[in-house]
Structure 1
């Protein structure tokens, strides 16, 4: 039985808790939180985050469920010194730097640190690789949404003057239709998407200043067409409590001058955090298995064979799925 810890109990942490119940070979040891443990509404064991080091030899892997802007960059290296870790760090531009940081710690302490899992980065990354490997003559396109982005929403909520907020990513459907017709397009992620923010201001906050802080945020909103709506807390609770998301990775390519092909990996998700959590749980299984084999260091979805994700052994996988 693989023993698992959850660090953080927001939407993603709750999603991991739900998904562990679907994993016959995994057991939740506890949830570790910066909040008062008695305030957490769950039947699972809950502990103060600072007590996690008391569990060093009692957990095979911990899943980090904090935000990518500040939580994971701080907690990842700190916890990888003592535990095998899995996280869904999603700041694409900073992944090489974060990987190097985690690899240094994991190599030095002989742990496994699986970073940037989820669906993008994660499954979308893997499908971008597959599409390019299979169709080397072609172009790759990634479209996100329409849906609620956890990472971008978390980034907005950390802006001074914001009480609460959500952020939707909206793809350019005209571009998707052109690709499906086999037409060549000029693509960049900024022109292919719009961002829409619904935010509740803190009392006394200056709306113009807050809007500027959001729109100028590097790696998240800078250079994107972003619309910001300031609404009431009641409106946010009434109209923006769903957590849908999804998108496409499309590879448009040729194997010869006569034959054009489309490789299209699509996700349509009722709950972004629960699906992201499901991916994290699968890679937590892989991290624990790799650690038992003596593997160390930081890993991404590119480095881990798919069989490590499944609770079934190779013989059953070959019989049922191959």
Structure 2
């Protein structure tokens, strides 16, 4: 099967992440990068073999374009590509009425020129709202608790490491939107140790007692220490009126741009199966 030729429009952090991710893609290849004329120069490093041009028409053949320009420029760039009947994937960071209007305009343009666009194919909008929707569906009578913490500072905790069953530990703290102090603790466990009693012992420790504390087991603390970027905790708890106790929790530490690039590539894989028009990003069934 022929690989899809994918152009990257813009070479900021997101554009570079998309271009690098395309190098190892089995189903797609990097057709080239489109940059502003004032920024045009030969590519370097791992992107050196690929062309850089100032207009998409200068690339030999393009199946799909990934629009990686600032949010304020996305609509204009996307309009020009769709008018040239080039399918596009974009992840403009819009929400609410602005996102709905943006989606509607791209839908009109794509239908008029009989081509396709995937809108909001990033982290947020994109995957994060899908997580939230799934939590709401599974626990319909409940409340959401969430917190984002860019670059949460973690430190080795000798106090936690002395708890029975704990091999090593990292701890960090942040203030929630309401101002309450909350703790995140990452532990590696001794062989044969169970997480539940370790969690109970940590939460009962004088360092954490009386304050919201979440404990996560990991394989290697070095992986957590090496991570940079954003941290996120989302929790949904059932209300007393629901009659049954249920809770869901996701905790993530990630680099936002790398995640957005992966979502854009996922959207590019499926765009050929979509009818003409604009479509909000959705996860595929495996």
TM range (shorter): 0.5 to 0.7
Render the CA deviation track for 1:53-77: whole Å, top value 9, x for unaligned. Answer: 355x822211111111x12132122
Matched, 1:281 2:259: no
Residue 290 of structure 1 corresponds to 273
Q: Give the conservation status (yes or no) of the 8 Å contact 1:84–1:111.
A: yes
Larger CA Rg, structure 1 vs 2: 2
Cα distance in 1 for partners of 2:180, 2:102 equals 32
Question: 1:261 and 2:240 equivalent?
Answer: no
| Residues 86 and 113, structure 1, Cα contact 8 Å, conserved in 2 | yes
Aligned equivalent of 2:236: 251
Change over 3 Å in CA distance of 1:18–1:246 after alignment to 2: farther
**In the alignment, which residue of structure 2 is the partner of 1:85?**
88
Per-residue CA deviations over 1:201-235 (Å, capped at 9, x if unaligned) read xxxxxxxxxxxxxxxxxxxxxxxxxxxxxxxxxxx
Deviation of residue 141 (structure 1)? 4.0
User: Structure 1 residues 265, 108: closer, same or farther in 2, change over 3 A?
Assistant: farther
Which residue number in structure 2 is paired with residue 18 of structure 1? Answer: 20
| Counterpart secondary structure, 1:145 | strand
Distance 1:262 1:175, change over 3 A: farther
Give me the whole-angstrom Cα distance separating, in 2, the residues matched to 1:9 and 1:243: 21
2:165 match: none
- CA gap of 1:265–1:290, structure 2 versus 1, over 3 A, is farther
CA contact (8 A) 2:141 2:242 kept: no
Mapped to 2, the partners of 1:273 and 1:121 lie a distance apart of 13
CA distance in 1, matches of 2:50, 2:145: 43
Contact 1:33 1:46 in 2 (8 A): no
Q: How does 1:1-322 map to 2 (within 5 A)?
A: 1-34=3-36, 35-41=38-44, 42-50=47-55, 52-55=56-59, 58-68=61-71, 70-81=72-83, 82-93=85-96, 94-147=98-151, 172=176, 177=182, 244-254=229-239, 257-269=242-254, 271-287=255-271, 289-291=272-274, 295-301=275-281, 304-307=282-285, 317=286
Tell me if the contact between 2:43 and 2:49 (Cα under 8 Å) persists in the aligned partners. no
Task: Judge which range, 75-84 or 37-46, deviates more.
Answer: 37-46
Pairwise CA distance, 1:99: 0.4
- TM-score relative to the length of structure 1: 0.59
Unaligned runs of 5+ in 1: 149-169, 179-241, 308-316, 318-322
Q: Is the 8 A contact 1:31 1:44 kept in 2?
A: no
Cα RMSD (Å): 2.8
Separation in structure 2 between the aligned mates of residue 285 and residue 171 of structure 1, nearest angstrom: 40
For residue 23 of structure 1, give the secondary structure of its aligned residue in structure 2.
Answer: coil
Q: Structure 1 residues 257, 136: CA separation in 2 closer, same or farther (over 3 Å shift)?
A: closer
Shift of 1:103: 0.5
CA contact (8 A) 1:15 1:275 kept: no
Q: State the partner residue of 1:220.
A: none
Note the C-alpha offset of 1:23.
Answer: 1.8
